[in-house]
Amino acid sequence: MNSLHFAPRRNWTNDPNGLVFHKGRYHLYFQHNPIGIDHRNMSWGHASSPDLVHWEEHPVAIEFDEAEEIFSGSIVVDAENTSGLGTVADPALIAIYTSEARDRDHEAQSLAFSLDDGMTWTKYAGNPVLDRSSAHFRDPKVIRWEGREESYWVMLAVEAEDRQVLFYRSDDLLTWTHLSSFGPQGAVGGVWECPDLFPLRVEGTDETHWVLLVSLNPGGIAGGSGTQYFVGDFDGRVFTPHERFPEVLPDDEAGMRSLDWLDYGRDCYAGVSFAGLPEDRRTLIAWMSNWDYARVFPVDPERPARGRFTLPRRLSLVAGDARPRLRQTPVAPAVREVARFEDLEVSTPVSIPTPVGQRVELAVALRDTAGFSIRLEGDEDRALEISYDVAAQQLSCDRRGSSAGFPEGFASVQRMPVAADSELSLTLWLDESSVEIYAEGGARVLTDLVGVLRAPTMRVASGSGSGSGAMIRRLIISEVAE
């Protein structure tokens, strides 16, 4: 398998939309231009999967028209038929999306419903259902609030330029009243987009906290598009973070590092989670690109396509030094072990041929070394280097060696704080054109697109320093089995 990641066959793609698990299938809708390679004519494309690994692409679900483009949003199953658009026996799926007016600067929230389990959609005749006469009010995420006394729908949507998440309530999905607003707070170097809110348990405890995800562009930790998160409480009306952050701009490096980031790479944006799954299976998918260069990304003229998605990731919380942190565990294809090394001294670099779609599990003893690096070298002199600096407790992902032919700004080095005492463990998922790096058991993640890496050889080397070299406790290379 050359790619671990689902990508629509043709045309332009950005954010995942309306993620929902329904009747045994995972549905992934997405921002899509059905007729072109550019970010225009936004509609919802559609794919579904029985297992989050094998995807089938379906016809476009909700299409643009002369009046509006269909911007990002979410889907709920209206099990009690609160909207009256389905029946209790055969509940409607309701998509809540942003109507992006074509003739003026105006964004409002609208509905479409499906009576055939998500395959075909009808726009609601009373659209829009929530309009505050704004040009930047978008990306509705609707969740069901199950309080002790009452249950109702809650919508989160951003007032993008104000760096605010607005909360609304509804009993029928058709009429909405304002509950509260959150922000600006934390990273504010760009517009806020694509919010999500869900409860998560701290692993190994009975404690549950609410996590608010906020994507922002630009102003992310790696430059351009990025996603911050806030851990706090939600009482059905107001989200209150456990810690109040000051507003931080990208040039304040220490401030940026003090915030909580979903991902430290360049290419993980607009990630949101599935509706319809139990809380202990909360699963996120993100767009694997960055607005810094997505619009000018090179395409294969034979098969013009732009945009794909990260591996789906199960989410949990883990206790951290100061506060709970998100842990991400990828849902990935089955693999077959192809090489295993144990207790390997790397005083001189070691070279290992590797498959294209692969998982690399690595554990390195750090006692006698300043660090180590893994360099993946493909054909045409392309290379990707992942290295760890013990003194700085920092992992770097350098894709400059694989950036020839890519847009300006693509050649870059991403850095992620990774704490390690005597041993560092990493899991990498690599395919021909991307890497996902999971460190600290998934509590630190870095996702980057890379230039094409065909037939990669892996070179493992010790960092410079006085020690005798890094000791590889374990290096297991597995290829994707299908």
For binding to ligand FRU (CB under 6 A), which residues are involved?
A: 14-15, 31, 42, 71-72, 98, 138-139, 193-194, 270
| Nearer to ligand FRU (CB atom), residue 140 or residue 241 | 140
Q: How far apart are CA 68 and CA 195, in angstroms?
A: 22
- CA triple 199-203-205, angle to 5 deg: 90
Q: Shortest gap between Cβ of 342 and ligand FRU (angstroms)? A: 44
Interacting residues of 268 by C-beta distance below 8 A, sequence separation 6+: 226, 227, 262, 286, 287, 288, 310, 445, 447
Q: Is the peptide bond before 218 cis (omega within 30 degrees of 0)?
A: yes
Per DSSP, helices labelled H in 356-435 are none
Q: Shortest gap between Cβ of 42 and ligand FRU (angstroms)? A: 5
Q: Shortest gap between Cβ of 254 and ligand FRU (angstroms)? A: 27
Closest among 94, 196, 187 to 140, alpha carbons compared: 196
Told to judge if 15 belongs to the known catalytic residues of this protein, a careful annotator would answer yes
| Nearer to ligand FRU (CB atom), residue 270 or residue 362 | 270
Helix (H, G, I), strand (E, B) or coil at 240: strand
Q: Shortest gap between Cβ of 160 and ligand FRU (angstroms)? A: 7
Q: How far apart are CA 400 and CA 383, in angstroms?
A: 8
- Asked if residues 283 and 275 have their Cβ atoms less than 8 Å apart, the reply is no
Residue identified by tokens 């995807």 is 55
Q: Shortest gap between Cβ of 274 and ligand FRU (angstroms)? A: 18
| Nearer to ligand FRU (CB atom), residue 14 or residue 414 | 14
| Nearer to ligand FRU (CB atom), residue 71 or residue 198 | 71
Q: Shortest gap between Cβ of 466 and ligand FRU (angstroms)? A: 47
| 235 conformational bin, left if phi > 0, alpha if psi -120 to 50, beta if neither | alpha
Element (H, E) at 255: helix 253-258
| Nearer to ligand FRU (CB atom), residue 289 or residue 373 | 289
- Asked if residues 291 and 224 have their Cβ atoms less than 8 Å apart, the reply is yes
| Nearer to ligand FRU (CB atom), residue 98 or residue 427 | 98
- Asked if residues 283 and 315 have their Cβ atoms less than 8 Å apart, the reply is yes
Active site residues: 15
